[in-house]
Each structure stands twice: as structure tokens, then as C-alpha cells.
DNA sequence: AACTTGAGCAACCGCCGAGCC
DNA sequence: CGGCTCGGCGGTTGCTCAAGT
């Protein structure tokens, strides 16, 4: 389900994100924010491009994200908004709290698109006939009323929940990240550094004369 | 049991527009 | 005004795994 990690010619890592990288990115963004995605990986100690970090944050690490288990209401909203806006996934995702454009897009392509292609029924209509067999795959030419699509979707959602149960950091026995507010106070003698001062800050760290930057890691701490 | 196929989804790629100099 | 940088977006790809043969 994830790409094999590899390195490009610039030494930047590509492919699946490791738990450690997730922790680093989450910690950094929650402390500093993400005013500059291009510079972020450098300061966060990640061998990733800014775009990759941004995508990972937006699609997976951002707080309040929902995964899997699309409700009938959400499915209907997606269908309705897609009719209205077309492939404007970010626009559609805005109307679905906790959902990302990437997730909506994937859900559309893997579930709703082919469902609607062969069946004009709404999700609620389909769910009201849960015992009908799932036939549309075998009978693409049958058109409307060719089968029950959504039981298949729900089954898939449950499968994804199982997947999440084993990969979700919090459910993995990892404590939730301390919020930015909780870091204020003793954690930083200088809690927030503006972009300009970061370079100096970093230089001092690398030269060994500065203080160590401790970012929270759930197995300890990151030391720059 | 071994192999094949297809679904599902995370992540990458390339383009575009906004903002800045 | 033109060039550059950056963030955002949509399309596509690569990989895993479950189901089917």
C-alpha cells in the first residue's frame, strides 16, 4: 500500500514515511507551524522535500482528520458536490470536515465513480437493499439497477479501520502529541523563532556552540 | 500451496496561480 | 513587466494485500 523508500539524486528520501519521520514532522509543525514548507524539512531534520512534508501533514498527520468509514451523508455530499463542481477535490473536501482532498479523490475513484457509472441509485437507496447481490462488476452493460454497490463499500471501510487500528500512533500505545500551548513555558527559553532567526539558530547548533534543540519524540527526544 | 488479478490508498509528479522582488 | 519562488491542486503511479483460480 505504500511505496518502497528510496533516495533521489539529491539525497532526499522518497516513498513511505517511517514512524520516526512522522513524529519529527508532527512535532516540528506543532511547535513552529509551517510558514515555509521548503525550509521545513531542513530544520525538522527530515531528508524529504517540502512538498512531501506538506502532503504528509495535510493528508495524514494533521489533527482532527477522519479516516475510513464514510457515512451515507458524506457519500451523498461527495456525489452532489462532484456533480456541482466536477473534479475540484479541494473544494469538495472543504465541505467534509476531517476529510482531505486526496482521500475524497481516492474514495471517488475507488468507490463512487464506478458505482454511479453503473447505478444511478443514491447511497441511501442502495443501503436500503443490503441483501441484494453485488453484481455490477460482472454486468457492466446492465446499466441502472444492476446491483447493490454500497455493501461493498462499507465492507471496505471496515477493512480500512482494521488497518488504521494497527497503524494509528495513538492506538499504538503512543501518547498523543503535546499541544503547542503545552510547550510554552519551561520547554523553550525562546519559545518561538521567526524564520529569519532560524538560520542563525541552526548555524549555532551545527557549529556546536549553541544549545541543543530538543524535539519531542515518543521514544525520547530528538537532538540536533 | 502457488500463482494471478484487481481493489484500495499513500505518495509522487507536473502544472498553475499568487506573491514578491 | 518579467522572472523567480512557493504553495496548492488534480492526475497518476507504485505498492500491498485479499480474493479468486
Find out whether A11 and A46 touch, Cβ atoms under 8 Å: no
Question: Which nucleotide has its C1' atom closest to residue A160's CA?
Answer: B8
What's the confidence (pLDDT) of residue A56?
92
Is the separation of the CB atoms in A52 and A6 below 8 Å? no
Q: How far is CA A102 from the centre of its chain?
A: 8
> Model confidence at A9, in pLDDT bands (50, 70, 90)?
confident
For residue A57, the model assigns a pLDDT of: 92
Q: Is the CB of A66 under 7 A from strand B?
A: no
pLDDT digits (tens, 9 = 90+) for A62-121: 888 888 778 888 888 998 898 888 889 999 999 888 899 999 998 988 887 766 655 554
Instruction: Confirm whether A6-64+173-223 and A72-164 share one CATH topology.
Output: yes
Strand pairing report for A6-7 and A13-14:
antiparallel
To the nearest 10°, report the CA torsion of A207, A20, A173, A65.
110
Spell out the CATH class of A72-164: mainly alpha
- Indicate the pLDDT class of residue A42, thresholds 50, 70 and 90: confident
* Domain A6-64+173-223: assigned CATH number: 1.10.10.60
CA–CA gap between residue A169 and residue A164 (Å, rounded): 9
Residues A217, A67: contact at Cβ < 8 Å? no
Query: Which residue in the block uniquely carries the three cell numbers 539529491?
Result: A10
CA of A126 and C1' of C14: distance in angstroms?
A: 33
**Domain map (residue ranges) of chain A:** 6-64+173-223, 72-164
- Taking the C-alpha atoms of residue A50 and residue A54, their distance in angstroms, rounded to an integer, is 6
Q: CB A200: neighbour CB atoms within 10 A?
A: 11
Q: Is residue A1 over pLDDT 90?
A: no
3-state class (DSSP) for residue A83: helix
pLDDT of residue A52: 92
Give pLDDT tens digits for A140-182: 333 333 333 333 333 333 333 333 333 333 333 333 444 444 4
Please write the tens of the pLDDT for every residue from A52-79.
999 999 999 888 888 877 888 888 899 8
The residue that minimises its CA distance to C1' of C7 is A37
Supply the pTM of this predicted model.
0.64
Amino acid at each position: 500500500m505504500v511505496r518502497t523508500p528510496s533516495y533521489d539524486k539529491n539525497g532526499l528520501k522518497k516513498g513511505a514515511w517511517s514512524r520516526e519521520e512522522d513524529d519529527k514532522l508532527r512535532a516540528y509543525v506543532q511547535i513552529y507551524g509551517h510558514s515555509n514548507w521548503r525550509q521545513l524539512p531542513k530544520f525538522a531534520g527530515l531528508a524529504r522535500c517540502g512538498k512531501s512534508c506538506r502532503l504528509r501533514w495535510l493528508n495524514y498527520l494533521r489533527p482532527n482528520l477522519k479516516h475510513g468509514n464514510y457515512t451515507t451523508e458524506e457519500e451523498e455530499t461527495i456525489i452532489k458536490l462532484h456533480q456541482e463542481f466536477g473534479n475540484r477535490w479541494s473544494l469538495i473536501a472543504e465541505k467534509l470536515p476531517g476529510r482531505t482532498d486526496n482521500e475524497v479523490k481516492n474514495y471517488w475513484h475507488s468507490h463512487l465513480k464506478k458505482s454511479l457509472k453503473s447505478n444511478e441509485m443514491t447511497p441511501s437507496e442502495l443501503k436500503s437493499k443490503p441483501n441484494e447481490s453485488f453484481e455490477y462488476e460482472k454486468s457492466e452493460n446492465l446499466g441502472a439497477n444492476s446491483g447493490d454497490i454500497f455493501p461493498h463499500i462499507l465492507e471496505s471501510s471496515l477493512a480500512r479501520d482494521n488497518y488504521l487500528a494497527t497503524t494509528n500512533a495513538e492506538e499504538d500505545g503512543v501518547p498523543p502529541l503535546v499541544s503547542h500551548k503545552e510547550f510554552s513555558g519551561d520547554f523553550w527559553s525562546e519559545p518561538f523563532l521567526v524564520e529569519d532567526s532560524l538560520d542563525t539558530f541552526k548555524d549555532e547548533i551545527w557549529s556546536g556552540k549553541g544549545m541543543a534543540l530538543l524535539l519531542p519524540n515518543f521514544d525520547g527526544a530528538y537532538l540536533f
